Structure 1
């Protein structure tokens, strides 16, 4: 499209960033300047098309009495005002013809009438500020057009002082769902049009600064900080009472300070004082550099234990209030997370204030992604089209100018998944010129030509290790290769937290800690984007009738939509814990290692406990010496000689903090001493046939099939070998990863419909032996399975032997037995890993102990139901009714325990949680082994050591009735 053709486009299709607005400037929450919120109820009208010829609503005296209303901030599609949310990950939900958008373009006209108070200031200027509008806005005040803008998640301001009336004023805003800006905002999230952040009228007094830039560096060599505050448009003074600082803006001062880090977020209250305005500042002294190929802050290597965070609320979408932001950050701190990548746009500015206060490293990402061009081989990609460069530079500038005074922001990111192009280079050059004190990030150009660090998404563990050794595959250009090879490495996305998972986090963390170049990463992502829904519980892509959608790929977070931590978040907390507590060199001792980057351990208390057979027999406080980051010490509980059992040491907060109360567990470690008890043999009694049944000790069996029907007084149904699980999102994998999508291969093979042939039922000597073949229809492979039952003293033993038959080329989902008990047996108790679920590559957080909860509480409510709820390393498990009667199972070796009120087949068939309806049985799995989880919903699959190959196996249990 030529420039002439572009000039004839309507404003919302013009690739330029907008007209009539003011230059960007910093955001700050408060000052002594007057301001007036225009949030609240606005009159609203929705049109199905971009009816630009009808602007009558913006004229004075327009009658909007027949209109509806919407809340601002908010999205009209979430307020019953018309339309619906739509989710796509990559594909644009409209024809790709940049910068054109469809005529079917939902258009929301907004009206807000307000009256200025009589005491409002008369001097200076009044500015109308929008914090965020999707996807574009055209603005009128009292019938006069102010201008238009794009850049949905960035602020825009207009000077309005000469247009305001002393009495009633009418603000009119037209918002189009689609615009040229939509091509820059294809960010793997819901498309949600509306005025979703605050609208404010702000006084800019005479003598107030137009802009200011806080520079606060730290020299780790002598402990000094250097402060310089640039102030544009006014003369000012900078006051830092705690430091005795009173200097002119533009002047610098160097003096001893305490540095700011995410671990020690030391802020100094300050003020920028000008003739027209006093602006509170919170200053954190820190310096970030790349030195010797490593990111260092204040002289120390940094390890990101991060998450990607979209802004989301299950009822209000991207209109997220301050309490929700704080809740997010408190949860992050409580789960040992130290960094946030603001995927894939700058967050609400108040979020960064909280990051400064609570202590999080931030990669602040520009409001830019053009991923939908990837399937077009990047034809027409705006970042390589000069017509779009002004819009790209505008977005970069609005991010940097808004957020440049935050200590927490240490890296600027150009955007996400935009391919490569000259527009990105222009952005990088502008940012470097404006703020050379921070680093630059962009993952999409593997040459890393414009950035300071090498960043990747979802590389395998093997590739990460090569990168750690600086031995990765070379680039074709030797100069670029040498430059990149000297860079630090960060995974801007890894550990795809979709459904059950992610697996393999521990193995990644060990690489980060082994190789200096590997500086951690950011799990994708923080929260499931499921909307509260009366029928589905939480809705995902396709639940709103979208023409194109990507299903539940929008639910890939460490939090469930209601912000309940998932097992994945609990696992991540354990994997990245900043204190390592492990076995010492001698029995009864522990090694404690300080894994913080900057902090000591003085804020922690170490407590120990000693358990024998599930009972705490001793406990106390452990004396741990002060340890510098990276240092270790060996310590021993006072009662180390008290005998064998389970020893647990916890590192807990020694006092209340802004994000956790005293006693909050930061890290823990366990050691078992002594020999693990094994079940007493259950053998010696003889089976007896009578009336179609075989009785063996407490067991009663069907004589024809050899299947138990009762153990003691407990009815048992359908006990047999089980290899199926409801595939997880990671089992099913992503369409672009065809090689190891085991969930699909399991289903093709028919593992969800195995047939069980009985070859022999032999009641001889002191055993009942049942020989079977378990196999899927249509294939010539199977599992020859023998059940050998024995009994003694009211206890029933089972040994299961499995020999694969045929050419098995896929791992098994699980290997164990499944059976059903009556629904009354809904209480669960076990000794083993807990309290939450675990799988072979997600078991770091499984703490050994004796646990008790109802079967319903064993379930993990993934938004799309799938395999869940297994407990690891179980020694014995009981299922009981309210009176304590039931069944106990002990393992010959530790096993995996799962119990639920529906079958795996019913779990597999469910699309949403309400589809699962409790039946009249409790279905129990006692598994010898499970397939790992991996991260293949977007990342690597299951590591070889966590795959469950079809190999000969033998395992045993002893059952005993209870009550």
Structure 2
């Protein structure tokens, strides 16, 4: 059967470029009749017949996936095939969707050749036009064209398409994504006029020394009798197709300055519109260069995904993606792990992004057979694989944004990749090739890895890394590999809360010329929102026995395309402008081509988080790769702030001077904060304070009273503050595990050690409540059942006026870590160290002076800007699809938690703390699988932390670096509580 053989397709035309043509075209998108059968044998035999009555069939939107329109169910797997591995045969249960569409051929339609074009059908299909079979095709995310003109009729025409969910091609499409069958990209009928343009291959180059460009336009017609002209009005060009020709004084194309020239290819029967970018891609001295300059990738991997429509992504959504990327300083996209909709690449040309265009090929599921039967090394599969490479290259060859071809992803090693590389280099020698998973890199022009630890990245930067087994015994191959430029094709797994460590990666990237950047995994969470639902679903939510769980929820955007804190952090880390100082300021242009003339630099001075002065800096023109020093206004260095005494901060920012296609003037590109000289008062103080005597502690009416605080005499817990009921505070070492805490398959799972140490089940035993003259001292032992280790916590309360200060001394005891310790595995970190307490639910408003506006953690804090912020408790939550630790505000000097009238509690740090406030407990958060599992309680729960453990990227990569690990050791910290009153 055609759906299980190794033939890529039948009846198809040769692949060609995606072109905007003057020839008539009919869109066949819209509502189609649809019938789903459990398998091919049950599908109607007369689906192609015009006599078939399909009135009782359902309707389906095309482009679309039937599993997202009420038929069967989607499936998500990361690596495993969701069917038995028996190549090339698909499973016996092979859902088959029949699609029928009647359409009218306009009376003006030319009576000549026509082609039927499908941009993407998952995974295999057969097509009939007016009862005549046109052909079959595999390769889900690639175009297929069929000759249709001879079978068209005046007036009404019937198009029938049978789509199989599974086919032999499915073994090449195991790409860490939802399996979503259907006709999910555009369907069009296109006239092919006599004397038309059959194909176009635009070759350009740019000489960075002379400024000249070269242009060659090939393959425009199959009939040499037709004269074809190429017109580029802006350059005054009117020339015959062919070439090359040299054009002096062109503006080059780059991701930073995406200059495009509008062009037309004019043949007697057809005109094709092109947008030409002049650029030369080369490998020089072990580095990738464009227009003679090495480039640096600040990239992301991007699956196509829409929360409602799956991979049926609209052009508006594509533009939204690219605008968000540009606004967040991202300059490169790896089209993981297949070619995108062709309109996406047009937008990359227009807006300016570097693109690694990846073939629709991944065989990852063969890891479960130890790669036995892997198509990549079976010559019988070579035609299928090469067909996919050809269709991608031919479709996308004219895009200046595409600077690298990728042979595929995670398909191990195999001779067939040699066939793909050989053909591609012959067809398009102007672009290098990429393939990461063959560690010999025999067919790749890049050395690449995934999720490389920082220390190994350092060794790669210095070319002192160990040779992989694949090249260790082959000196010439190893010498070639060691000379290649390095690109980290996946890193910083953006799953849940995180990733941590982005700044550390960036520092290493920038230190070594060999390292040319990387691509964060990945752009967007693949959560699906079904009709009427409030929660996004992920693997396992449909009762599947084989699934990848929430591993598809790993993006820098939430499924609704709201940026996550991880994206905000990434934007800050990869700023193309670096501002250091403060006196003088040094402004460094980290771009590869553009000056900073498109930016305006401004400054603000803040006193205790409130602006007291602002201005604009005069910055000279700074070329790419250069820097300049700029003096501060004298008052910032020596003058006293106008608003009085306190903590002074200077913020310098770089914003767009004018509107750009992707952002309005004033959009911020980069910023930095500096501490300025202050008047020496304590942080958080706005005026001198009069020293007041400590207040006495006393027992009264079965309670302990100290200042404005009332305590339980048995537990020593604060139960009332200035008449406000309070529960706590009490030592807390646990957090609801993040995806990165959980690790991947047990690897790097910090939570395993935490649970082994009983940190998720700590009990508190009060050993003494001591009421002293001016202190309340509570001594307790915090320990889990079944283990001998513990933490001694001493709470020391003092009061001055209305201020109630708590100092906590923490002393670990027992074998926490190291050889001979009692914890297996060794517990080398605590999730958090701080206090947990509860307040009345009416206290739902928070103001704070500290890091913000969004959450931040030890290794994900670059985007936290010190200032004054306010939010409701609900607004403080980060809405991760899978609930987990979130919402921490870092470096908080003080915070006020109040009701609508302003009554509540103020907390001051000594000097700072981390603040979390939510309407549910940590345990509630930990149990929840979806956001709707969280139900607000009648309390507001605060965590006032000295610190939390770093986030890392262990959901698929390294854990937190040592400098961000919260090690179990003695520590002391303090906070001060004060009552708030309305007004």
Using the size of structure 1 for normalisation, the TM-score is: 0.97
Contact kept, 8 Å, 1:620 with 1:637, in 2: the verdict is no
Query: Equivalences for 1:75-90 in 2 at 5 Å?
Result: 75-80=65-70, 82-90=71-79
Match of 1:570 in 2: 568
Q: CA deviation at 1:643?
A: 3.3
Question: Deviation of residue 52 (structure 1)?
Answer: 7.4
CA contact (8 A) 1:683 1:797 kept: no
CA displacement 1:671-697 (0-9 Å, x = unmatched): 012357246788621101012211111
1:469-508: per-residue Cα shift (whole Å, max 9, x none)?
0111023121111101101000110010000000111000
Question: Does residue 195 of structure 1 match 2:183?
Answer: yes
1:536·1:912 contact (CA, 8 Å) conserved in 2?
Answer: no
SS at match of 2:914: strand
**In the alignment, which residue of structure 1 is the partner of 2:445?**
452
Q: Distance in 1 between matches of 2:564 and 2:843?
A: 26
Q: In structure 2, what is the Cα distance between the partners aligned to 1:903 and 1:447? A: 51
The match for 2:341 is: 348
Is residue 240 of structure 2 the alignment partner of residue 248 of structure 1? yes
Native 8 Å contact 2:909 2:976 kept in 1:
yes
For residue 5 of structure 2, what is the aligned residue in structure 1?
14
1:597 is aligned to 2:596? no
SS in 1 for 2:545: coil
Aligned pair partner of 2:195 in 204, 207, 220 = 207
1:711-770 Cα distance to aligned partner (Å, 9 max, x none): 1122110310000000000000001x53x3111221232212210111111111211111
Instruction: State whether structure 2 residue 844 is matched by structure 1 residue 803.
Output: no
CA distance in structure 1 between the aligned counterparts of 2:40 and 2:754, rounded to whole angstroms: 49
Q: Deviations over 1:82-105 (max 9, x none)?
A: 201000000000000000111211
Where do residues 83-98 of structure 1 align in structure 2 (5 Å cutoff)? 83-98=72-87
Which deviates more from structure 2 when the two are superposed, residues 742-751 or residues 928-937? 742-751
Aligned mates of 1:961, 1:636 — CA distance in 2: 44
Secondary structure of the equivalent of 1:51?
A: helix
* 3-state SS of paired residue (1:538): coil
Work out the CA distance in 2 between the residues paired with 1:182 and 1:512: 37
Q: Distance in 1 between matches of 2:597 and 2:417?
A: 45
User: Shift of the alpha carbon at 1:571?
Assistant: 0.3
In structure 1, what is the equivalent of residue 714 of structure 2? 704
Comparing 807-816 with 711-720, greater Cα deviation is found at 711-720
Structure 2 equivalent of residue 104 of structure 1: 93
- Cα separation, 2, equivalents of 1:253 and 1:11: 46
- Which string of whole-angstrom CA distances, capped at 9 and with x for unpartnered residues, describes residues 239-258 of structure 1? 11111111111022212111
- In the other structure, the counterpart of 1:529 is 526
Of 516, 521, 529, 1:519 maps to 516
Hey, what does 1:888 align to over in structure 2? 906
- Aligned twin of 2:157: 169
Aligned mates of 1:801, 1:668 — CA distance in 2: 38
Aligned to 2:494: 497
Question: What are the Cα deviations for residues 894-934 of structure 1, in whole angstroms up to 9, with x where unaligned?
Answer: 21111000011100000000111111111001100110000
C-alpha distance in 1 between matches for 2:692 and 2:725: 20
Task: Name the structure 1 match of 2:820.
Answer: none
Which runs of structure 2 are paired with 1:874-885 in the superposition (5 Å)? Answer: 874-885=892-903
Give 1:529 deviation, angstroms: 0.4
Counterpart-to-counterpart distance in 2, 1:132 and 1:615: 54
**Larger mean Cα displacement after TM superposition, 612-621 or 832-841:** 612-621
| Distance across 2 between alignment mates of 1:539 and 1:53 | 30
Tell me how far apart the structure 2 counterparts of residues 658 and 88 of structure 1 sit (CA, whole Å).
Answer: 37
Q: 1:180 aligns with which of 147, 162, 168?
A: 168
Counterparts of 2:639 and 2:454 in 1: how far apart (Å)?
Answer: 42
Deviation of residue 536 (structure 1)?
A: 5.3
The equivalent of 2:118 in structure 1 is: 130
| 1:133-154 Cα distance to aligned partner (Å, 9 max, x none) | 0000001111111110000000
Partner deviation per Cα, 1:504-558 (whole Å, 9 max, x = no partner): 1100001111100001100000000001144551111111222210111010000
Offset at residue 189 of structure 1 (A): 0.3
Partner in structure 2 of residue 4 of structure 1: none
User: Within the alignment, does 1:677 sit opposite 2:658 as a pair?
Assistant: no
In the TM superposition, what are the counterparts of 1:928-939 in structure 2 within 5 Å?
Answer: 928-939=946-957
State the distance in 1 between where 2:267 and 2:336 align.
Answer: 36
Q: CA–CA distance in 2 between the matches of 1:383 and 1:960?
A: 68
Structure 1 residue corresponding to 2:752, chosen from 726, 737, 744: 744
Q: Does 1:773 align with 2:794?
A: no
Q: Contact 2:491–2:519 at 8 Å: present in 1 too?
A: yes
> Gapped runs of 5+ residues in structure 1?
1-9
When structure 1 is superposed on structure 2, of 725-734 and 885-894 the one drifting more is 885-894
Q: Which residue of 2 aligns with 1:36?
A: 26
Distance 1:683 1:819 in 2: 27
Contact 1:17-1:390 within 8 A present in 2 as well: yes
The CA deviation at 1:314 is 0.4
Q: Confirm or deny: 8 A CA contact 2:609 2:866 kept in the other structure.
A: no
Other-structure match for 1:486? 483
Alpha-carbon distance in 1 for matches of 2:842, 2:681: 32
Aligned partners of 1:419, 1:683: CA distance in 2, in Å?
73
What's the TM-score, normalizing by structure 2? 0.95
Q: Do the aligned partners of residues 53 and 817 (structure 1) sit closer, same or farther apart at CA in structure 2, a change above 3 Å counting?
A: closer
Q: Are the structure 2 counterparts of residues 683 and 833 from structure 1 closer, same or farther at C-alpha, using a change threshold of 3 Å?
A: farther
1:115 aligns with 2:104: yes
Alignment size in residue pairs: 946
User: Is this contact kept in 1: 2:694–2:801, CA < 8 A?
Assistant: no
- 8 Å CA contact 1:858, 1:899 repeated in 2: yes
Match of 2:350 in 1: 357
Match in the other structure for 2:822? none
User: Aligned pair in 2 of structure 1 residues 630, 93: CA closer, same or farther (>3 Å)?
Assistant: same
Q: How is 1:853-872 mapped onto 2 (pairs within 5 angstroms)?
A: 853-872=871-890
Q: Could you tell me how far apart the structure 2 residues matched to 1:439 and 1:425 are?
A: 14
Structure 2 CA distance for aligned equivalents of residues 438 and 118 of structure 1: 45
**How many Å separate the matches in 1 of 2:911 and 2:749?**
30
Quickly say closer, same or farther: Cα 1:682–1:184, change in 2 above 3 A.
farther
Give SS of 2:459's match.
helix
Three-state SS of the structure 2 residue aligned to 1:752 is: coil
Q: Is the 8 A contact 1:535 1:914 kept in 2?
A: no
Deviation by residue 1:164-183 (Cα, 9 ceiling, x = unmatched): 11121111110000000000
Shift of 1:300: 1.1
Among 239, 247, 256, the alignment partner of 1:263 is 256
Pair 901,941 (structure 1): closer, same or farther in 2 beyond 3 Å: same
What RMSD over aligned residues (CA atoms) do the two structures have, in Å?
1.2
Find the partner of 1:70 among 60, 69, 90: 60
Counterpart of 1:403? 396
Equivalent positions of 1:458-477 (< 5 A) are: 458-474=451-467, 475-476=471-472, 477=474
Separation (CA, whole Å) in 1 of partners of 2:273 and 2:89: 44
CA contact (8 A) 1:336 1:576 kept: yes
Of 516, 532, 536, the match for 1:538: 536
Check conservation: 2:65, 2:181, Cα contact below 8 A.
yes
After superposition, residues 621-770 of structure 1 pair within 5 angstroms as 621-638=616-633, 639-640=635-636, 641-643=638-640, 645-673=648-676, 674=678, 675=680, 677-678=682-683, 684-735=694-745, 738=747, 740-770=748-778
Paired residue secondary structure (2:21): coil
Distance in 1 separating the partners of 2:325 and 2:307 = 18
Q: Give the match's secondary structure for 1:532.
A: coil
User: Does the residue aligned with 1:57 lie in a helix, a strand or coil?
Assistant: coil
Cα distance in 2 for residues equivalent to 1:711 and 1:333: 49
1:322 to 291, 315, 318: 315
Given that 2:917 and 2:941 are in contact with CA atoms closer than 8 Å, whether structure 1 keeps it comes out as: yes
Distance 1:314 1:637 in 2: 48
Could you give the per-residue CA deviations for residues 613-666 of structure 1, whole angstroms, max 9, x where no partner exists?
A: 222111011111111222222223434243361100110000101000000000
Provide the C-alpha distance between the structure 2 equivalents of 1:237 and 1:779, rounded to a whole number of angstroms: 83
Distance 1:931 1:53, change over 3 A: closer
| Structure-1 separation of matches of 2:165 and 2:692 | 70
